[in-house]
Amino acid sequence: MSRRSFTLLPALLLAGSALASEQHQHQHHSSYAGLEDREIKTLSQDDIEELRRGGGWGLALPAELNGVPGPAHLLELRDEIPLEEQQVAEVEALFERMREAAIPAGERLIEAERAIEVGFAERSLDEEGLSQRLADAEAARAELRFVHLATHLDTLPILDDDQVARYNQLRGYTNQQGDPCDSVPEGHDPERYRQHMGCD
């Protein structure tokens, strides 16, 4: 081995050791790294904004993906379905009632999640307090879910069967019996959709 090889050897060993150390550190990084900067750890800023505007937040998927239309998308597709003027007026009324109920319910869910967050941040929770705050959060989530799912139910009496079929065709639900994880419907956040559907 040349003298030059001997002088390079320590540098190579040091570089290799640093690389191995860096890879070891990355192996231990949580997939949650970075989420600690969220105001409420369980909710992204997009989640909070959607809840505050009365958005569906993926809670109506059992209705939507079983062919029961929602008011927001019905209004988007009013010309393609098509909806008659009276139907549009009825769906608009449904949509407004849904928002009026969903926005305060969403705020209650946000505040319930914030209360859990604060309890852990301040180290002020015991098991009884945790149980109560979780119950509050689940009650708010159930209320919000009911608002969205019940509104989907209310659209059916307004529509005829052909309009429901056309809605589902336009939304890309061509195979209601297929695996819903095979494709993400237009208008849904892919990550949230797969999470709510239990997709891998």
Q: What's the angle, vertex CA 99, arms to CA 119 and CA 150, rounded to 5?
A: 95
Please tell me the predicted confidence (pLDDT) of residue 199. Answer: 62
Let me know if residue 19 belongs to a domain.
Answer: no
The top-scoring range by mean pLDDT among 37-41, 43-47, 148-152 is 148-152
Amino acid symbol at 11: A
Let me know if residue 172 belongs to a domain.
Answer: yes
Q: How confident is the model at residue 5 (pLDDT cuts 50, 70, 90)?
A: very low
Q: Which domain holds residue 182?
A: 42-197
Let me know if residue 163 belongs to a domain.
Answer: yes
Let me know if residue 118 belongs to a domain.
Answer: yes
Burial of 78 (0-12, 13-18, 19+ CB in 10 A): middle
Q: pLDDT tens across 140-165, in order? A: 999 999 999 999 999 999 999 999 99
Alpha-carbon distance 124 to 148, whole Å? 34
Let me know if residue 36 belongs to a domain.
Answer: no
Residue 179 has pLDDT above 60, yes or no: no
Residue of 60, 59, 54, 52 lying closest to 155 (CA atoms): 60
Q: Six-digit token pair at 102?
A: 């969903």
Let me know if residue 34 belongs to a domain.
Answer: no
Q: pLDDT tens across 98-143, in order? A: 999 999 999 999 999 999 999 999 999 999 999 999 999 999 999 9
Let me know if residue 23 belongs to a domain.
Answer: no
Looking at the structure of the chain, the number of domains it has is 1
Let me know if residue 7 belongs to a domain.
Answer: no
